[in-house]
Chains A and B, each alone.
Chain A
Amino acid sequence: MKTISAFALAPLAVALLTTADRAAAADASAPPLVPFASLPVAVVAPPPAKTPWGVGAGERVPGLFVRKDDNSPTAMVSGSRLLLDQNSGKGFRRVLEEPETDTTRDFCMSEGERSFGEPTPPPTWGHTANPMLGLFGRDGREHVVAVHMEHVVDETPSSAALEIVDAWVDVSTRGARLIRRSKVPLARVATAPGDIHVYAARDEKEVHFVIVEPRRTVRSWSGIFQVGAEMSQSGCRHARSSLPIERGGAEATTFIVNTEVVTNDAPVIPGGGALGADMKAESVRSRPLRVHASVSWAGADAAPVLAVSMGWEARDRTSTAFRPVKAPTTKR
């Protein structure tokens, strides 16, 4: 592929930052076109073709937590120990009291998937991503499942990175064996109201678009929907869509995400009753935002054309969210 030479170009993250900032200031809905060559080069590797027979019970991958589900023959997997606690009915109060410290949605998990065809296509990572995976035990070698975990790190105004851990998880032993650990550099290509950022990176075959929500201060989040080439829902703080690069071809994806603004005009909720005296109401104004990204390569284009734009998906709504008020610490 002739375009490979373009990948040798160094990422122009600083230039991208300047451009993206200027765009956000001028008109967030119309960020300037991002040159393909300016994106950092990154590879999101697919699952290995060959699955191991088993993973020992004592094998562990740091940062990846595997726990038996209490009520089913299922292994629960997440990068957040707290989330696994919550799955067991613990650890909710802390998140309610300090939602800004909630990292349970930071890790995005997906499972390796095989498809059928002639010749057999290589396995891929599933499109639906959630902070926690439930792996079901199956017969034979299928009790070993490829698990992909990624989370956004190193967030700066211009860039970020996607930290990726791929591992084999044995549902029967709940052991985990590292496949690979990698870090994908991302350049910010657009910013939407509500501190929603869009990042991108490229490799030889795909452009990876990553949309990242801010940490919520209230628990009214409803997820990121992705429609277009694939349809999925992400329960994580970020969602990634990888669009193929093909001369003469094109692909597009649309994320739909809620922007939220906490206002101070919430009605006063009387204390006591079912809510308890320590619950505080907050009025949250939210509006679904449509973030659209695409890659296309027409005959007249020297390189693939990236496009990122955004607009409102629907009208805004106001809802009331509740959070416990922390009792002041008193010294005795």
Chain B
Amino acid sequence: MRTKLGIAFMICTVCASGCAGGQAPSVAASSPPAAPSGGAPTCAPLAKSSVVPLGTPRAGSTIVLARAGQRRIAFVADEDARAVTAIDVDEKKELATTPLDGAPSQIMMTADGRLLALLRDRGSLLALVPSGDGALAAQCSVQTASEPVALAAAPDDRTVVVTSGWGRALGAYDAGTLVRRYEVPLGREPRAVVVSDDGTTAFVTHAVGSRMSAVTLGDAPHTVKVIAMRGADPSIMRNMREQRALLGKQSTPPEFREQLEKMEKRAFRSGCQGFALAKSVAPAGRVLAPQVLVDPGDPEGRPEGYGDDHTETEVSSIPVVDERSQAAFDSSLATVRTEILGKREARDHRADCLLPRAAAVDPRTHALFVGCFGIDAIVAYDAASASPATSERRRWIVGAGPTGIAVDPERPQLFVWSQFDRSMSIVPLGDPELREKDAPAQHLEKVAIVGKGQKLPTEIALGRMIFHSAGDTRIASDGRACASCHPDGRDDSLTWATPEGPRRSIFLAGRVAATPPYAWNGSSKTLHEHIGKTFDRLNGSGLRSLELDALVAYITSLAPPPSTGAASDRAIVQRGASLFASKETGCAGCHVPGAGFTDGLPHDVTSKVNADRTARFDTPSLHLVGGTGPYFHDGRYADLGALLRGVDGTMGHTSHLTPTDLAALEAYLRTL
């Protein structure tokens, strides 16, 4: 069965960031013929539903379980097909596909039996009413901040929270009416979200930035506490902790503290790839946040490749955050050294989960399941451990690109949605891998989604798989994937030590094709050439031309993030635009509007540092510049304000600008 929603939801006016209450959801312009709520197309909880959630995960995913009478249904959010497909999980057959107006990033069943869906490219939260045959009828929608990526429900099922990636916000909505209550600004690239057991705090991961945000819910003020997601060798962490304690007791000069902070910054690895979250059940009160810890190397050095030559640049990590103290256990952020066991060889050791994209907890076996891109595996860890990343129990290979995991609360099995090959894997649990005898193993089954809805072109689909291919020695000898430094095709916000000096990773999505040459020194005229050089620095053996073509096709096809909407004050932006174009500031001379905001030429803006081999750097595009900090080739400026104040006389002129003009110029840059 195929239900076409074919409607454009009337989205009500964007509520400015931070506003509270009052935004009413719109009603579907063309309601389905038989709305289960009795025909009234209002956004309200269902009095009665034939479909009920299976279990109470209260967290969004790309796959959710429901029951309709005797039938058990998995709803999957198919981002490629821009549809939600219902699958009978016991019959293992597809029931219905419901096309949507946008790409669904996550879905979640509410307690009253509705299916909420986030449309990433549309910036909307959608309520759908499922029927027993898996078909979905539209109920209503509400606009969210730009690029909604994840949602979760509070324990009382009255509030739904939504994170928005490019919009950098957490929005709270009434679970019944979808009226927005408030919105809280966050740091770069928020992703997964869960709500604490007591309902007072939302924990939000960030794809970049070594942080988790703890946002207070309920009544204002809604504070955001940043939880550091950085880690190091246990002995270094212990040493730093002792030194901090010592400094706390003594009156020490500020330079001592600065020195310690500098040492910590260098010794600690940065957290990255925070795409998934899960809450432990027993023990309760813990948030498990799969990520990776990255050592981008000493920016003052010149290694042979990207990052330190002598350490693993990326290691998997699963911080355990105590809901009450809102801090991560040190042990869960510690990187475990295994070099005493000899050099890690890919053949001898299982590939790490370097691109975690989904997580779920099974309370029966206190297992944390993590879905990993690249190795296309579900890895089971001990959810009760103080250091889950070192407690791997076993793993299963599933379909390519696992983006969602649903634990069957009634039977010992998992359902995994894999976006890249559009299949649902049924993973049998209770079949111990650690068995001494050759007992017959239970087999994993796959249900492939039949070709409904639009699919990615074959070349781009292949390119996407290669882009996310972790553990592929053709790309990097240490297992890094393209997506390791470019999560979601964007950037990791890190400055890497390279043979040329320190280099910030570049934001790719939507701004690569039109901005040759490539590399910070502009040494590559084409993407093919630049990617080849990158593989060489990663000590990868390289791809075949067909695969390289596919990779380039995928990278150049990446859509830019959706617009953040109209600027709040057009007059300020226009003032900023005129300042940008003025001869006095000199911005537009190199960042040419109409040419991708670059002149494609190298310039010396006196930004060379000791490790740099050259002083001339290619003019970077300013497209999307508002969301791509820190700035400059070595990431020296944390934000646009610091950049505008810091470059006076070396890259244009800003000292003559008033604070108001500087703010206007910054506001304009954020619109690019």
Q: Please give the residue numbers on chain A whose beta carbons come within 8 Å of chain B beta carbons, in ascending order.
A: 26-30, 33, 192-194, 225, 227-231, 233, 248-252, 254, 256, 261, 288-290, 292, 294-296, 298-301, 305-307, 309-315
Q: Decide if B366 touches A311 in the complex (CB within 8 Å).
A: no
How long is the Cα–Cα vector from A249 to B387 in the complex, in angstroms?
12
Q: Decide if A28 touches B434 in the complex (CB within 8 Å).
A: yes
How long is the Cα–Cα vector from A230 to B341 in the complex, in angstroms?
15
Chain B residues with CB below 8 A from A301, complex form: 283, 285
Which chain A residue shows the least CB distance to B364? Answer: A30
How long is the Cα–Cα vector from A249 to B331 in the complex, in angstroms?
8
**A295-B386 contact, Cβ under 8 Å, with A228-B334, A300-B283:** yes
Q: Decide if B386 touches A248 in the complex (CB within 8 Å).
A: no
Chain B residues with CB below 8 A from A254, complex form: 336, 390-391
Number of interface residues of B (CB under 8 A): 49
**What 1/0 flags go to B387-409 for Cβ under 8 Å of A?**
10011111000000000000000
Q: Please give the residue numbers on chain B whose beta carbons come within 8 Å of chain A beta carbons, in ascending order.
A: 197, 234, 282-286, 320, 322-325, 327, 329-332, 334, 336-338, 340-341, 347-350, 365-367, 380-382, 384-387, 390-394, 430-436
How long is the Cα–Cα vector from A313 to B327 in the complex, in angstroms?
29
- Cβ of B195 to closest chain A Cβ, rounded Å: 14
Taking chain A's interface residues, is the majority helix, strand, or loop, or is none over half, making it mixed?
strand
How long is the Cα–Cα vector from A230 to B238 in the complex, in angstroms?
11
- Cβ of B93 to closest chain A Cβ, rounded Å: 30
Q: Decide if B334 touches A298 in the complex (CB within 8 Å).
A: no
Chain B residues with CB below 8 A from A309, complex form: 381-382, 385, 391, 393
**A250-B391 contact, Cβ under 8 Å, with A227-B340, A298-B322:** no
Chain A residues with CB below 8 A from B365, complex form: 27, 30
How long is the Cα–Cα vector from A90 to B324 in the complex, in angstroms?
61
How long is the Cα–Cα vector from A295 to B382 in the complex, in angstroms?
12
Q: Decide if B385 touches A225 in the complex (CB within 8 Å).
A: no
Q: Decide if A227 touches B337 in the complex (CB within 8 Å).
A: yes
Q: Decide if A310 touches B386 in the complex (CB within 8 Å).
A: no
Q: Decide if A314 touches B286 in the complex (CB within 8 Å).
A: no
Which chain B residue shows the least CB distance to A193? Answer: B436
Which chain B residue shows the least CB distance to A230? Answer: B234
Chain A residues with CB below 8 A from B338, complex form: 227
Q: Decide if A298 touches B391 in the complex (CB within 8 Å).
A: no
Q: Decide if A294 touches B285 in the complex (CB within 8 Å).
A: no
**What are 17 A-B interface contacts by the 8 Å CB criterion?**
A28-B435, A225-B341, A227-B336, A227-B390, A228-B234, A229-B331, A249-B329, A249-B330, A250-B320, A250-B330, A254-B336, A298-B285, A298-B323, A310-B434, A312-B433, A312-B434, A314-B349
Chain B residues with CB below 8 A from A228, complex form: 234, 331, 334, 336, 387, 390
Q: Decide if A313 touches B349 in the complex (CB within 8 Å).
A: yes
- Cβ of A6 to closest chain B Cβ, rounded Å: 16
Chain B residues with CB below 8 A from A233, complex form: 340
Most chain A beta-carbon contacts within 10 A, residue among B338, B367, B382: B382
Which chain B residue shows the least CB distance to A315? Answer: B348
Q: Decide if B324 touches A299 in the complex (CB within 8 Å).
A: yes
Partner of A307, one of B334, B391, B436: B391
How long is the Cα–Cα vector from A312 to B380 in the complex, in angstroms?
12
Nearest 7 A/B pairs, CB to CB: A299-B324, A300-B285, A250-B386, A252-B387, A294-B386, A250-B329, A296-B386
**A299-B285 contact, Cβ under 8 Å, with A307-B382, A307-B391:** yes
**A231-B386 contact, Cβ under 8 Å, with A30-B366, A298-B283, A312-B433:** no
How long is the Cα–Cα vector from A305 to B284 in the complex, in angstroms?
11
Which chain A residue shows the least CB distance to B395? Answer: A311
Partner of B432, one of A26, A33, A252, A300: A26
Chain A residues with CB below 8 A from B366, complex form: 30, 33, 307
Q: Decide if A29 touches B387 in the complex (CB within 8 Å).
A: no
Chain B residues with CB below 8 A from A27, complex form: 365, 430-432, 434
Partner of B436, one of A194, A227, A230, A300: A194
How long is the Cα–Cα vector from A288 to B348 in the complex, in angstroms?
10
Which chain B residue shows the least CB distance to A288? Answer: B341
How long is the Cα–Cα vector from A228 to B432 in the complex, in angstroms?
25
Q: Decide if B341 touches A256 in the complex (CB within 8 Å).
A: yes
How long is the Cα–Cα vector from A28 to B336 in the complex, in angstroms?
23
Chain B residues with CB below 8 A from A310, complex form: 393, 434
How long is the Cα–Cα vector from A203 to B433 in the complex, in angstroms?
34
Chain B residues with CB below 8 A from A306, complex form: 384
Q: Decide if A292 touches B382 in the complex (CB within 8 Å).
A: yes
Q: Decide if A305 touches B283 in the complex (CB within 8 Å).
A: yes
| Seed contacts A252-B387, A301-B283, A311-B434; 13 additional CB < 8 Å A-B pairs | A30-B365, A227-B336, A248-B325, A250-B330, A252-B332, A252-B390, A294-B384, A296-B283, A296-B384, A298-B320, A309-B382, A309-B393, A315-B348
